[in-house]
Every structure is written in C-alpha cells, then in structure tokens.
C-alpha cells in the first residue's frame, strides 16, 4: 500500500504539540524573533537542526494579496494549435475547468469588445424588436448551471502512442455558467406565431452564425455573462455568449450580438459546408448537434509512469443528452467490464468524474472506459463508429472508447484507434 513505514525513533523526535509549549518559549527567546513568527517552531528547531533551511516553519511566510498565483511547480497549460487550444485533462481533478484553461476554438480570433458598448439585438418574427445592454441583461432573473462544452471536432485521429488526453480530446471543458434564460428574453420580445428557428450571430471577425431550433432556445438555452463566478473570459465570448447545454461547442455563439427569429433554418456555412458528417453513401448528416455520450480516462495515461500495486483509474464522462448513469472500466482490453464509482452530484449534460481502484500486477495491460447515459446509449468502439461513418469520415462527432496500454516498465501509452 501507499505510505512509508516510519521508525519509532523518528516519531518520538517529531513529538506532540502539547509538550512543545515550553520549548517554543525557549526557542523564541534564543532566536530573538517575534512570537507570531516562531510560535510552535520548537518542533523542528529542537529535533532536526540539520534541516533548518528546508523547514518552512522557521521563517514567517508570504503575505496576503489581492490575487493569488499558482504554486511554482504547478503550471498546467493549454496547448495552443492555431485556431484551437486544448485543456490539460490529465492535469485536472474534479469536474471544474479553471477558466484560464478552458479550451478555445475561434473562427477568426478573439475580438476586443468594450462591454459598455456591447448590445444584443433580438429581431425578426417578434412583437417588439429590442436591444439589450449588458446592464439590461443583468437585471433579468439569473440562472446558474454547470455543464460541459465540447467541440464537435474533439478527436485527434491516427494519433501516435505518445499522446496525452489533452492532445487526444482536450476540446472539452466544464464551467459553472450564469446568465439569463433565452426563453426569458424571447418572452420579452414576444415571438410571433410560426417562428421556428433563431439565428445567433457573434461579433467576431468571422461573424460566426448558427441556426438554433426554437425548441432548444426555449428549453435550456442561456445567454451567459459569467463563468466560474467571474465575468466570461475574452476567449469564451466576453461579454456575452449563447450557451446551448449538450450541443456542439460552436453553436454556443461567442461574443453574441444578434438573434434573429424566423420560420426556417438560415442554413449558414457552419451547417452546410462545415460541421456536417459525410457518410459512406455520399450523403451527409446535418444538424447533428447533440454531443453523444463519451468518457476518457485521464489518469493513468501517457506520459505517466506507474508503479505496481494500487492505483486509481480516474476519468471524465459526459453526455449531451442528459445524465451519465454508468461508466464501465476494463483493465483487460475490453474483455470484461466493471462499473466505476461516479462522483456526485451527477448533473445532466455535465462532466462526471468516475474512479475505479486498480491493482496493477506489473504485466502488460490495457485500460478502457465506456460511458452510458440516461437514454441507454452506450459509448461505441472506434470500430463500431467507423462501420457507420466510413473511413473517409471527417473527425466530427467521433466519441470512441479510448484505450491506454501499460508496458511492463510501468510506462503508459495511448493505444491508437481504428483510423490508423
């Protein structure tokens, strides 16, 4: 098991707090420091003088500050690759992605927007065309919701075995978002009978646009201005983004400036030439916007090096269709599966952390995970996906079971996929 036996002499030296009170006063007198700085420092002073310079109890620490920083040795980073940057999934714990590590996907870079000048126009098939400032929007009833956002192109196909979870599928992140329900704004403008679609438009240089069915807009769409407690970051749409829980990330239009209500889809570039799924028969899936259930093991994975004995297999699972109900883990390359523990609360359309203890015996092995959501959908193998989508498939909406191999040396490797 983890943990080192300690010899009893060392323990006796460490002592307990109670008897150290007198020694503490003695040391305070000897070194001539103020009481606050040396209170309790007798422990190290009297038992381990050779380690004084390494002992953080020997000197007063740093002061409070207006803003904290990460520890020097803890510097998780996104990997920026042109129009995307990837979240370091293997470095993270729990389910919240720190805002500065949330993945990015831009279609023409991050616009610099003056929040005080920014407005959201809602027009088209409405009773009242209205423009909302950010201050206006903040006066409406607010809604807070934790959910994932995933880019539809979230798979590095034909990846080498030296691939981290971040490189493989780091285009998924999770935040606690706050804003106004889009349904509230639609009631405010008064949607006319016959309206079926909305156009959402961003104020980036791509003027990114997507058509949204009015049912989704009325169901759980939000217009959000906050992320993980603070204002949305510029790369996430500051000051305003649409948030469509469970849908492919690009539909959650960033830098949102305009919503037009109409009786049909706008058939923008992003739903005709882009973000469609070509099929083997020459046709293509369109508006395949709901992200299917998926899971990925985040540890142990490449480039970790594990030791024999107990580990914990940890990962994330999520589904755009609702709650994750089960995650199975295999330690024998998919021959047998065991249900993992799901960390609660399990929220709909949200990253769910799963864990599974694993006693590694030092032999070559392959670990996998598969997610099951409340619709009964089971995450497919790459082979199953390939059979449906065909070998010429673009890497959109691919959510294969991912495998990681451990070599007898303890080195972990990505196992590769069916696209190789």
Pick out residues in 239-258 that bind its own copies (CB under 8 A). Answer: 239, 255, 258
**Neighbour-count burial for 104-131, b at 16+ CB within 10 Å, e otherwise:** bbbbeebbebeeeebebbbebbbeeebe
**C-beta of 16 vs 282, nearer to its own copies:** 16
CB 87 within 8 A of CB 99: no
Q: Which of 50, 69, 273, 363 binds its own copies (CB under 8 A)?
A: 69
CA 46 to CA 56: how far, in whole Å? 15
Q: Which stretch binds its own copies (CB under 8 A): 90-98, 289-297, 329-337, 404-412?
A: 90-98
Q: Which of 23, 26, 48, 113 binds its own copies (CB under 8 A)?
A: 113
How is residue 88 written in tokens? 């370091």
- Is residue 78 involved in binding its own copies (CB under 8 A)? yes
- Is residue 99 involved in binding its own copies (CB under 8 A)? yes
- The DSSP 8-state label assigned to residue 364 in this structure reads -
Considering only residues 326 to 355 of the shown chain, the ones binding its own copies according to CB under 8 A are 341, 343, 345, 347, 353, 355
- List of residues 6+ apart from 18 with CB closer than 8 A: none
Q: Which of 31, 205, 284, 388 binds its own copies (CB under 8 A)?
A: 205
- Is residue 274 involved in binding its own copies (CB under 8 A)? no
- Is residue 19 involved in binding its own copies (CB under 8 A)? no
**C-beta of 156 vs 225, nearer to its own copies:** 225
Alpha-carbon distances of 55 from 36, 58, 80, rounded to whole Å: 16, 6, 38
Q: Which of 161, 188, 374, 411 binds its own copies (CB under 8 A)?
A: 188
CB of 410 to its own copies, least distance (A): 13
- Is residue 197 involved in binding its own copies (CB under 8 A)? no
Comparing CA positions, the residue from 366, 351, 368, 358 lying closest to residue 316 is 351
Q: Which stretch binds its own copies (CB under 8 A): 203-211, 241-249, 385-393, 412-420?
A: 203-211
Helix (H) or strand (E) run with residue 316 in it: strand 309-318
Burial of 2 (0-12, 13-18, 19+ CB in 10 A): exposed
Q: Which stretch binds its own copies (CB under 8 A): 205-213, 323-331, 366-374, 379-387?
A: 205-213
**C-beta of 125 vs 386, nearer to its own copies:** 125
Q: Which stretch binds its own copies (CB under 8 A): 55-63, 288-296, 327-335, 369-377?
A: 55-63
Alpha-carbon distances of 398 from 87, 168, 294, 413, rounded to whole Å: 18, 12, 9, 20
Q: Which of 137, 159, 243, 296 binds its own copies (CB under 8 A)?
A: 137
- Is residue 392 involved in binding its own copies (CB under 8 A)? no
CA 293 to CA 322: how far, in whole Å? 9
**C-beta of 139 vs 285, nearer to its own copies:** 139
Site string for its own copies, 358-377 (x = CB under 8 A): --------------------
Q: Which of 136, 161, 374, 411 binds its own copies (CB under 8 A)?
A: 136
CB 185 within 8 A of CB 155: no
CA 210 to CA 213: how far, in whole Å? 10
Whether the bond into 72 is cis, omega within 30 of 0: no
Give start and end residues of each alpha helix (H) in 230-287.
Answer: 269-272
**C-beta of 83 vs 388, nearer to its own copies:** 83
CB 399 within 8 A of CB 405: no
- Is residue 389 involved in binding its own copies (CB under 8 A)? no
Q: Which stretch binds its own copies (CB under 8 A): 69-77, 324-332, 368-376, 407-415?
A: 69-77
Q: Which stretch binds its own copies (CB under 8 A): 30-38, 160-168, 367-375, 389-397?
A: 30-38
- Is residue 79 involved in binding its own copies (CB under 8 A)? yes
CA 93 to CA 221: how far, in whole Å? 27
**C-beta of 134 vs 418, nearer to its own copies:** 134
User: Hey, is 29 helix, strand or coil?
Assistant: helix
- Is residue 108 involved in binding its own copies (CB under 8 A)? yes
How many residues form the binding site for its own copies (CB under 8 A)?
A: 142
Q: Which stretch binds its own copies (CB under 8 A): 116-124, 153-161, 215-223, 400-408?
A: 116-124
CB 290 within 8 A of CB 320: yes
What is the chain's Cα-based Rg? 26
**C-beta of 138 vs 321, nearer to its own copies:** 138
**C-beta of 99 vs 382, nearer to its own copies:** 99
CA 405 to CA 160: how far, in whole Å? 12
């Amino acid at each position: 098991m983890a943990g080192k036996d300690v010899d009893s002499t060392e323990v006796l030296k460490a002592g307990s707090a109670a008897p150290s009170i007198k020694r503490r006063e003695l040391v305070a007198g000897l070194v001539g420091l103020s009481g606050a700085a040396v209170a309790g420092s007798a422990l190290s002073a009297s038992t381990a003088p050779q380690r004084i310079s390494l002992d953080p109890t020997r000197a007063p620490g740093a002061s409070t500050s207006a803003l904290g920083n990460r520890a020097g040795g803890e510097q998780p980073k996104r990997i920026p690759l042109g129009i995307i940057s990837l979240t370091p999934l293997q470095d993270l714990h729990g389910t919240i992605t720190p805002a500065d590590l949330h993945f990015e996907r831009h279609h023409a870079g991050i616009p610099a927007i003056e929040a005080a000048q920014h407005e959201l126009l809602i027009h088209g098939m409405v009773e009242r065309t209205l423009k909302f400032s950010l201050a206006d929007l903040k006066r409406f009833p607010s809604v807070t919701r934790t959910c994932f956002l995933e880019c539809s192109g979230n798979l590095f196909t034909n990846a080498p075995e030296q691939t981290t979870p971040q490189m493989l599928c780091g285009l998924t992140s999770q935040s606690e978002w706050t804003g106004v329900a889009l349904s509230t704004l639609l009631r405010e403008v008064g949607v006319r009978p016959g309206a079926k679609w909305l156009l959402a438009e961003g104020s980036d240089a791509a003027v990114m646009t997507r058509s949204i069915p009015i049912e989704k807009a009325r169901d759980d769409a939000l217009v959000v201005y906050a992320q993980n407690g603070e204002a949305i970051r510029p790369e996430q749409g500051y000051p305003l983004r649409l948030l469509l829980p469970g849908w492919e990330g690009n539909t959650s239009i960033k830098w949102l400036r305009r919503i037009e209500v109409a009786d049909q889809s706008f058939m923008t570039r992003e739903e005709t030439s882009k973000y469609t799924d070509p099929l083997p028969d020459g046709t293509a899936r369109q508006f395949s916007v709901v992200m299917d259930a998926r899971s990925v093991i985040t540890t142990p994975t490449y480039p970790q090096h594990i030791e024999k004995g107990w580990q914990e297999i940890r990962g994330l699972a999520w589904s755009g269709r609702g709650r994750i109900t089960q995650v199975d883990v295999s330690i024998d390359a998919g021959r047998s599966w065991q249900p993992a523990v799901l960390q609660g609360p399990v929220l709909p359309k949200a990253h769910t952390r799963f864990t599974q203890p694993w006693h590694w015996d030092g032999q070559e092995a392959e670990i996998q995970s598969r997610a099951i959501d409340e619709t009964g959908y089971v995450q497919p193998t790459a082979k199953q996906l390939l059979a449906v989508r065909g070998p010429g498939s673009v890497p959109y909406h691919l959510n294969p079971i991912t495998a990681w191999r451990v070599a007898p040396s303890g080195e972990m490797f990505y196992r590769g996929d069916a696209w190789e």
